[in-house]
Amino acid sequence: MCGIIGILGKSPANQALYDGLLVLQHRGQDAAGILTCDDNRIHLRKDNGQVRDVFQERHMLGLKGNMGIGHVRYPTAGCDSPAEAQPFYVNSPYGLALAHNGNLTNADQLKDELYREDLRHINTDSDSEILLNVFAHELQAVAKLRLAPEHIFKAVSAVHRRCRGAYAVTMLVTGFGILAYRDPWGIRPLVYGKRETDQGTEYMFASESVALDVVGFDLVRDVAPGECIMVDVNGQVHSQQCAEKPIHAPCIFEFVYFARPDSMMDGIYVHKTRLRMGERLAGKIKRVWPDHDIDVVIPIPDTSRTAALQMAYELDLPYREGFIKNRYIGRTFIMPGQAERKKSVRQKLNAIDVEFRRKNVLLVDDSIVRGTTSKQIIQMARDAGARKVYFASAAPPVRFPNVYGIDMPSRQELIGHNRTEAQIAEAIGADKLIYQDLEDLIEAAREGNPKIQKFDASCFNGEYITGDVTPAYLDRVENQRNDSAKNTRSGGQSGNDLVTAEVLTFPR
């Protein structure tokens, strides 16, 4: 998952872009970048690292201009080289930059087409560089010296025709404006907001509404699946549905884990969805295990807290924060390698033994993916003196890879793959394991916006919403992106210290 942002303001956008990225850090911890544009130059700073490490004062001072886009990266394609940090930039036509959240499922085919038919060179293994070049080629095909919104919309329509998979995108067109669009399924989230200032209205796009809140913008609405919204440098807003048959099917895992609870996405409050997940999971325990002997409910911080609290309430049991989280360690699941993930669980969480001693504890997590967290946490609970350790997951078993922007490409690495629930319980060492049912998870989210008929729940049910994900494709991705393959592929050129490029200004 990555975080993306775009701002067109009436004063320098650099600080607001930085502040917005900082709040989207939970979506990507590997690399960060900001690209801004003043009258006729773009300025770019990107590198591996978290937002606070990548941007120093001298970079911020160099990021001039009232409009810009930004990105925090959690790689799902290519490698972790700083050369694949975003935003990406191409100078033709006009000067275009792109920040992408998601993952293309036909990247190989597109790369080939770009090379053979469009005569474009792709310099990294990133699917986002491919996406930018498809857009650039399509804009080149329709554009005139004087660029107009209809040209942009035609290019986005062509992107929808050519690209498959998930893409929520913010882009900057030099001297012209910023734009945002989503794939026709709206798999990844993207919101649009504005704020009034003495100098006039300012506009912002972001992966999650929490970024708008923190930077001081009001949420206007979500970018619709397939839609493109663009704001030109004169502050005119243009929007158009660019997909022929958009079908709204947002990723359910955003609600389970990725998004911040204080975000609204696709009309659904993430916090309330997690409360409902807790409510439904408690309902299941009452149904299937009415004579349970749980003494206390303990969340595994951070993400499961909301669901665990509601579960305890529904089960009429005490809720205790039995694990303390080191606030200086980031999210474990989105770390690149298994060794690092394993080590970080122990560095991150420690048990308060009095909450465990001689008790039957119900540990609650939002999900069990590789089992890295649950296995270690259950052992920690036992070491702290728990009598019985039960485990509840607010999401169903993750049994299938995700190909839409979550880096879980390898079936073999998923603890739920080819295991029954009893076998998973044994593998993680739990005395009992209770999973949320998929229908309950979907209903917990849908209750927030009943207009949404479908969610992409492929990692739970193996049904890939874009219809193009074949077993052969899954095999290929698994071979390319399992943890050991990734270890052999990292590297590449270093990131950009501040780059400033003079680009053509065109009449407007």
Ligand X SMILES: NC(=O)CC[C@H](N)C(=O)O
| Least distance to Mg ion, CB of residue 277, Å | 14
Separation CA 178–CA 96 (nearest Å): 10
Instruction: Rule CB under 6 A: say whether 127 interacts with ligand X.
Output: yes
Give the helix/strand (H/E) hosting 281. helix 270-288
User: Residue 167 pairs with which residues in a beta bridge?
Assistant: 102
**Pattern 107-126, ligand X, x by CB under 6 A:** -------------------x
Separation CA 376–CA 72 (nearest Å): 29
Residues near ligand X (CB under 6 A), total = 17
Residue of this chain nearest to Mg ion (CB atom)? 303
Residue 73 near which of ligand X, ligand PRP, Mg ion, none (CB within 5-8 Å, type-dependent): ligand X
The residue type found at 54 is: V
Q: What Å distances lie between residue 438 and 101, 411, 424, 463, 485, CA to CA?
A: 25, 19, 17, 13, 31
**Pattern 285-324, Mg ion, x by CB under 5 A:** ------------------x---------------------
**Cα-flanking dihedrals φ and ψ of residue 205, to 5°?**
-120, 145
**Cα-flanking dihedrals φ and ψ of residue 379, to 5°?**
-65, -40
Separation CA 42–CA 40 (nearest Å): 7
| Least distance to Mg ion, CB of residue 337, Å | 17
Say which residues have a Cβ less than 8 Å from residue 263's Cβ, sequence separation at least 6: 189, 208, 209, 210, 270
Nearer to ligand X, 127 or 366 (CB): 127
Whether the ω angle into residue 39 lies within 30 degrees of 0, i.e. cis, is no
**Pattern 408-447, ligand X, x by CB under 6 A:** ----------------------------------------
| Least distance to ligand PRP, CB of residue 327, Å | 10
The residue type found at 137 is: H
- Tell me if 132 sits within 8 A of 90, measured CB to CB: yes
DSSP string, 301-367: TTTTHHHHHHHHHHHT--B---EEE-TTS--STTSSSHHHHHHHHHHHEEE-GGGTTT-EEEEEES-
DSSP string, 6-19: EEE-SS--HHHHHH
Residue 124 near which of ligand PRP, Mg ion, ligand X, none (CB within 5-8 Å, type-dependent): none
Q: Catalytic one among 2, 163, 228, 242?
A: 2
Residue 369 near which of ligand X, Mg ion, ligand PRP, none (CB within 5-8 Å, type-dependent): ligand PRP
Which residues from 70-109 bind ligand X, rule CB under 6 A?
Answer: 73-78, 84, 100-103
Residue 306 near which of ligand X, Mg ion, ligand PRP, none (CB within 5-8 Å, type-dependent): none
Nearer to ligand X, 83 or 386 (CB): 83
Among the listed residues 508, 427, 350, 403, the one whose alpha carbon sits nearest the alpha carbon of residue 166: 403
Question: From the annotation, which residues make up the binding site for Mg(2+)?
Answer: 303, 365-366
Nearer to ligand PRP, 179 or 369 (CB): 369
Among the listed residues 427, 396, 120, 114, the one whose alpha carbon sits nearest the alpha carbon of residue 280: 396
Nearer to Mg ion, 94 or 258 (CB): 258
Residue of this chain nearest to ligand X (CB atom)? 2
Instruction: Rule CB under 6 A: say whether 209 interacts with ligand X.
Output: no
Nearer to ligand PRP, 202 or 365 (CB): 365
Separation CA 381–CA 357 (nearest Å): 9
Separation CA 115–CA 132 (nearest Å): 14
Nearer to ligand PRP, 31 or 152 (CB): 31
First CA to last CA distance, the chain: 36
Among 405, 409, 416, 495, the residue binding ligand X under the rule CB under 6 A is: 405
Residue 108 near which of ligand X, ligand PRP, Mg ion, none (CB within 5-8 Å, type-dependent): none
| Least distance to ligand X, CB of residue 413, Å | 17
**Pattern 398-437, Mg ion, x by CB under 5 A:** ----------------------------------------
Question: From the annotation, which residues make up the binding site?
Answer: 303, 365-366
Number of Cβ within a 10 Å radius of residue 221:
12
2 is catalytic: yes
Q: Which stretch binds ligand X (CB under 6 A): 68-76, 171-179, 235-243, 473-481?
A: 68-76
What residues line the site for ligand PRP (CB under 6 A)? Answer: 257, 300-303, 331-334, 365-374
Nearer to ligand X, 82 or 405 (CB): 405
Separation CA 283–CA 442 (nearest Å): 15
| Least distance to ligand X, CB of residue 127, Å | 5
- Tell me if 171 sits within 8 A of 97, measured CB to CB: yes
Separation CA 382–CA 361 (nearest Å): 10
| Least distance to ligand X, CB of residue 420, Å | 31
Nearer to ligand X, 101 or 466 (CB): 101
Report the interface residues with Mg ion, using CB under 5 A.
303
Report the interface residues with ligand X, using CB under 6 A.
1-2, 73-78, 84, 100-103, 126-128, 405
Active site residues: 2
